[in-house]
């Protein structure tokens, strides 16, 4: 039985919001990110940096503890971290 996608999970929508997986467990909605750098500042293990477009990326995926602080602090809901040992949406 095919899985029914919610409106925000359709390819058309994700293309529009420019969704990229930064790792197996972290998703960034680039169009929603305003490059404020709050996620970078609050990461307790300093494994987030801003790229040339001032969007966050994981500079050390192994250091990330999946604590979700960056996700919770992002004012624009642009960064989504799956719970520990869970994977990001494909
Ligand atoms: S806190 Fe959110 S809006 Fe700010 S740089 Fe990080 S992902 Fe982008
Ligand atoms: S989940 Fe935690 S450790 Fe991983 S990048 Fe975000 S704030 Fe840093």
What is the predicted pLDDT for the residue at 90? 61
Q: What is the mean pLDDT of residues 6-20?
A: 76
CA of 54, nearest ligand number: 1
Ligand 2: residue whose CA is nearest its atom 3: 64
More confident residue, 6 or 50: 50
Q: What atom in ligand 2 is closest to the CA of residue 65?
A: 3
User: Which of 68, 73, 88 for a ligand 2 pocket mutation test, highest count of atoms within 8 Å of Cβ?
Assistant: 68
Q: Is the dihedral of CA 26, 29, 32, 34 positive or negative?
A: positive
pLDDT digits (tens, 9 = 90+) for 24-56: 999 999 999 999 999 999 999 999 999 999 999
Q: What is the mean pLDDT of residues 76-86?
A: 86
Distance separating alpha carbons of residues 64 and 81, to the nearest angstrom: 10
Q: Which residues pair with 27 in a beta bridge?
A: 21, 80
Ligand 1: residue whose CA is nearest its atom 8: 33
Pick the range with the lowest mean pLDDT from 10-19, 20-29, 49-58, 63-72.
Answer: 10-19
For residues 48 and 42, is the Cβ–Cβ distance under 8 A? no
Nearest 10 degrees: CA dihedral of 69, 24, 65, 32? Answer: -20
CA atoms within 13 A on the CB side of 17: 19
What is the predicted pLDDT for the residue at 14? 67
CA of 6 to the centre of ligand 1 (A): 25
Other Cβ atoms closer than 10 A to 57: 17
């Amino acid at each position: 039985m095919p899985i029914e996608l919610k409106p925000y999970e359709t390819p058309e929508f994700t293309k529009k919001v420019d969704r990229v997986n930064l790792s197996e467990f972290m998703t960034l909605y680039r169009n929603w990110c305003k490059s404020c750098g709050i996620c970078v500042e609050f990461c307790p293990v300093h494994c987030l940096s801003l790229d040339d477009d001032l969007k966050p990326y994981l500079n050390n995926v192994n250091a990330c503890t999946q604590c979700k602080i960056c996700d919770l602090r992002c004012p624009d809901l642009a960064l989504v971290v799956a719970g520990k040992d869970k994977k990001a949406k494909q």
